[in-house]
Structures are given as structure tokens and as C-alpha cells.
Structure 1
Amino acid sequence: MNTLFDTAPGFDQPIAVLKHCHDRIRKQLATMSKLLDHLPNHGADKDAQQAAQSVLNYFVKAAPLHHEDEEINLLPELQMTAKDEDAALLAGLLPKILSQHEDMAAQWLQLEKQLSAIATASAASLSASEVLDFQALYSEHMQIEETQIAPMAKRLFSEAQMAALGAAMKTRRGITA
């Protein structure tokens, strides 16, 4: 079926939902790059304000839920399920993933201030080095999750575990239907 717009997977496919979140993160990271190019020539015009607000909306609302999905549900469930080489790999990756979440949150605080000022047209600057650092950290993080964590969960989780993960993600977002 070919639709005119990209539809999100349902919570009955929680790993696909997490991947969809990564795609949305990539889109917001690209918007920040476009802002870096746009601001010197156009300042905090309407387009810049809307772009900054879009990035703010995503990283203030959706990104923290995504990290909670991983920290509260996905990773602990994997820890309980993984055995042998999977458990060893997970034990090595987990501290890095959690540390990256902390680093992303700290980096976001700096970018959030700048983007908020752009969104209200009270400033027109965005630190290129901070954007690039944030993009690099998120890119490495998503690559680890997509090549190591997601395939492990798909392989190891039972239908019941997948259903429980999806239900927790849905509840976290206040979705009742």
C-alpha cells in the first residue's frame, strides 16, 4: 500500500515504534543543521521560529518518553531475558547507553535555551559545535540500539514480553484506545 504520508507503527510492534522515534529524531537533528545554515542569512524569521519550535516540541515531549521506554522497560526486560553471549554484550553496552542518555540530556539543556530564544525571535544564534556534538552523540547512540539492542529484543522477547513493552509505552503516552 502506498500512502501519501508516513504512518507510525502501532504499539503492537514496540521495537518498530522505537525505530520510528529514531527516524523522527534524525529529522529533528537535520532541522537543527538547516537552522545553522539559515540563521546567519535570515535571522530568527518565521521559518526559523517554526523550525526551532518543532525541534523543541520533539525533544521536550517525545524524546524523554523514548528514553524512559528504554530505561524502564526495554533494557531491564532484556537484562532479565538475555543469556550467555547476549547477556555479556548487554552488560557491556548498558553502561554506555545509560551514560549517553545522561550526556544527551545535559547537551539538550544548552540547545534548548538557544532554540527557545530562536522560537521567540529574541535571539538568532545556535552553536554549531553544540549541534554537531549532539548530532554525533545521538547518531552513535541510535546506531548501537538499532544494530545491537533492537535485534536482540526481537530475537529474545516472547509475544507476551513484546505486548507488555508495547502496553507500557502506550500507557506512558497516555494512550488509552
Structure 2
Amino acid sequence: MAIQIGGKHDSGFDDPIGMLKDCHRRIESFLGILCVVIDRAQGRKLTDEEREAVNTALQYFRTGGQRHTADEEESLFPRLRKSDAKSFKEIDRLENDHHESNDLHGSVERLYSTWIESGALGAEDTRRLHAETGRLRKLYADHIQVEETVVFARAIEVLDSHAIAAIGTEFRFRRK
């Protein structure tokens, strides 16, 4: 089994590192959509297209983001902790990022839901939505940078192909 370091992933489970990177790209894309909607629609009711884009982005965070976190925290991180003491600090940081991003996502989702239901947000809620979406975007950007440059690189170094294949198998069985 080959581990992809870069390039486009085929969304299969034979390459768990590539699959996690695909998830990162989707998260970044959906956060970008949320930021565009905030900037474009500030002070007015969302259009149907904007509402659909927001709902799609928020749904991805609820499902894809949670699965991504579970995949890492239940499969990848424990294996790295067992085989590589150098990764502890980064793994702890990434787990903290997961918890912080879940809290921020919940807040952002509530604010967007209010906007969708009421048709408008007050100035304070708009400011808060903009700030918290920006914080979420920055948190993810920093998280992805550490994960892809440090943790994934360490995983490829210290885990043999059998361990990486087992991680991919765990992802596949958990999704059924």
C-alpha cells in the first residue's frame, strides 16, 4: 500500500492519511463559504442559495468533522502514542483543537440558525458570528498545518504499512 504525501486522493480507505487530508480540504472550503456568506449577506436576509450553502457547510461539520475527529482520536493518535514519544505534545494539542473547534462550531451553528430562522441578525450577533467563524478558520488552519507537517509525517515515518492499513480498515468498518 502506498501512502500519498500529496496530490488528489480518491476518497477510498486504502490511504487513511490521504483521506484525512481530503477532509482538511473540505473543512477549509466550507469555512471559506461561511466567511463569504457573512461578508456578502451582512445585514440582510440570506438568499435560498446562501441558506443552502450554509446548511451544507454546517452539515459537513456535524458529520464529516466529527468522523474525522473520531478517526484520528480512536485510531491514528493512539498508535502514534504507542510508537513515537516525540508526537505526544502535538497529539495533545490536536486533541485540544478538536474540542475547541467543536465548541466554536456549536456557537457558529446556533448563530447561523438564528439568522436563517429570523431572517436577520442583530449587530452584536453579526459581529460575534464574524469573529467566531474567523477564529474557527484560524484554528483549523493552524491545526491542519501541525497535523500535515508534523503528525502525518511522523505517522509515515514510525508506523509500518501494516499499521497504516489497519487504521484504514478501522475507518472503513466504523463507517458502515
Shorter-chain TM range is 0.7 to 0.9
Query: Which residue number corresponds to residue 67 of structure 1?
Result: 69
Are 2:133 and 1:103 aligned? no
Give me the whole-angstrom Cα distance separating, in 2, the residues matched to 1:109 and 1:134: 11
Please point out which of 71, 84, 88 is paired with 1:91.
88
Query: Which residue number corresponds to residue 157 of structure 1?
Result: 159
Please point out which of 52, 55, 70 is paired with 1:53.
55
What amino acid is the match of 1:43?
A: K
Query: Which residue number corresponds to residue 15 of structure 2?
Result: 13
Query: Which residue number corresponds to residue 33 of structure 2?
Result: 31
Structure 1 stretches of 4+ moved >6 Å: none
Query: What's the offset of the Cα at 1:104?
Result: 0.6
SS at the partner of 2:118? coil
SS at the partner of 1:8? coil
* 1:107-146 superposed matches below 5 A: 107-118=104-115, 120-125=116-121, 126=126, 127-146=129-148
SS at the partner of 1:71? helix
- Number of equivalenced pairs: 163
Cα offsets for 1:127-175 (capped at 9, x unmatched): 110110111111111110010011111122212111110011112221x
Give me the whole-angstrom Cα distance separating, in 2, the residues matched to 1:52 and 1:23: 17
TM superposition score normalised by structure 2: 0.85
Cα offsets for 1:94-114 (capped at 9, x unmatched): 221111111111111101112
Give me the whole-angstrom Cα distance separating, in 2, the residues matched to 1:96 and 1:53: 29
Unaligned runs of 5+ in 2: 1-7
CA contact (8 A) 2:9 2:22 kept: no
Q: 1:7 to 1:122 in 2, by over 3 A?
A: farther
Query: Which residue number corresponds to residue 171 of structure 1?
Result: 173
Identity of aligned residues (%): 27
RMSD value, Cα: 1.7
Query: Which residue number corresponds to residue 40 of structure 1?
Result: 42
Unaligned runs of 5+ in 1: 1-5
TM superposition score normalised by structure 1: 0.85
SS at the partner of 1:47? helix
